[in-house]
Amino acid sequence: MLPSHAAVVVAGGGAAGFMAAIAAAEAGVRDIVLLEATGDPLHKLLISGGGRCNVTHACWDPRELVGHYPRGGQALRGPFSRFASGDAVAWFHEHGLELVEEADGRLFPRSNRSESVAATLRRAALQAGVQLFTGASLQGAAVAAGGGFALQVRCSSAGGSGGSERRLMGADRLVLATGSHPSGRQLAAGLGHGLVAPVPSLFTLALANDPLCALAGVVMEPVVLLLELPADPGSGATEGPVQRFRQRGPVLITHWGLSGPATLRLTAFAARALKATGYRGELRIDWSDGQSQPQLEALFAEAKQEQAKRQLANWRPWPALSRRLWLALLQRHGVDPQQRWADLSKRHQQLLVTALRDTRVAVTGRGPFGEEFVTAGGIPLGEVNLATMASRVQPGLYLVGELLDVDGVTGGFNFQHCWSSGWLAGQALAAG
């Protein structure tokens, strides 16, 4: 049975909510209730990373770590100075979970299964005395006349009948860890907080009807992407100042457009600008990883001399260049792939060098499957004391995780913010 009162109620059984409840309980707070609206706590964690869960990233310096957050940035330097990636690795190790670093810096559980991470958090919560209630959704929160909060909780009926009932309970202090769900924003607004309008982040780009889409499955690494968007999309002008967003890294060509880490980072940093333009703009792709025109011309000259009798189709300017992409660029610019390297004209060489350094495509929208996992927007950081995650608007209220206007790029950074903000809130709750 849900108790009628608790010293601390944490709303949201995700990564940040579990960390806040565990950290507070381990630091000495008793009588903590953790509410999860669904019957499946830590669901997002369980499905993340293809079921592997990228727990954090091997980025140990807080000054460097903040650069991976399009929203949050330098404001997070203080919180990360107290609990960052190394602290998260140590915390999980102390709780029986070993994390393993991959070549790109991502850290996964040694088991390679997200269930190991979830089990660690559930076990830690149980051992610390946290009371977890599933199927319990916080529907309303108001400041109580005598202090603390009066809460309305909708509880699913036992036995799986599908029904529910509303119950009232009191809490001395309240932690909102509701992620990007609108209900959490409504609860925070009801307690006096503002909202930075949410928009999607970390998504793929659609390139409708572009010939590149015929190369689905091709991966190129590294690639430099430069996205150009109108600086004033509302003006309707076709010419004028532009906003530019640049990223470098692996790119995956899909049957609808572009994906891969570089694309996801690009859309994270350009999330609001893309929203303002209706997800339309020009993308310039440098397949050569920033090689200069003279450098590429030297590669072509070398091929013409040393591979003179070979067909263009059978020899690429550099080995890592995808053969399918090379053939597509030949076709796009009217170059016969059966032609010998010795016979490649200066005009065609110039077209190919330009294409390798600056293929231009029209962005026509987001990827079609709503695959974005992160939302940009939430409670403004100026309304939160980032040393404690305590509300500056309402005493006794704490806000953690994705509910805040913080989001990171792919690679474990969003989970890291959950661990950091949850841990800081837990420490603050224990400190009184």
Preceding omega of 294 cis (within 30 degrees of 0): no
Same domain, yes or no: 126 and 37: yes
Domain count, the chain: 2
CATH of the domain at 132: 3.50.50.60
Q: Are residues 181 and 264 in the same domain?
A: no
Residues 316 and 340 in one domain: yes
pLDDT at site 428? 98
Residue 281 shares a structural domain with residue 418: no
Diameter of the chain measured on Cα atoms: 89
Helix (H, G, I), strand (E, B) or coil at 200: strand
Residue at a domain's end among 369, 393, 417: 369
The answer to whether residues 27 and 157 belong to one domain is yes
- Look up the domain containing 409 and give its range: 5-200+373-431
pLDDT of amino acid 95: 98
What's the pLDDT at 210? Answer: 94
C-alpha dihedral, 10 to 13 to 17 to 23, nearest 10°: 90
Same domain, 218 and 240: yes
User: Both 223 and 132 in a single domain?
Assistant: no
> Can you spell out the DSSP letters for 48-98?
GGGGT---EES---HHHHGGG-TBTGGGGHHHHHHS-HHHHHHHHHHTT--
Query: Model-level pTM?
Result: 0.89
> Residue 215 burial by CB count (10 A; 0-12/13-18/19+): exposed, middle or buried?
middle
Averaged in consecutive runs of 10 residues, what is the pLDDT profile of the chain (432 residues)? Answer: 96 98 98 97 94 97 96 95 98 98 97 98 98 97 96 81 86 96 95 95 93 96 97 67 95 96 96 96 97 97 97 97 97 96 97 97 85 82 98 98 95 97 98 92
Same domain, 286 and 144: no
On whether both 256 and 300 belong to a single domain, the answer is yes
Q: Say if CB 204 and CB 257 are below 8 A apart.
A: yes
Separation between Cα atoms, residue 432 and residue 423, nearest integer Å? 15
Same domain membership, residue 420 and residue 408: yes
Residues 357 and 386 in one domain: no
The pLDDT of residue 158 is 61
What pLDDT, on the 0 to 100 scale, is given for residue 290? 96
- Count the alpha carbons within 13 Å of 264 in the hemisphere toward its beta carbon: 19
The predicted pLDDT at position 239 comes to 66
Same domain, 188 and 210: no
Q: Pairing between strand 281-286 and 56-57?
A: unpaired
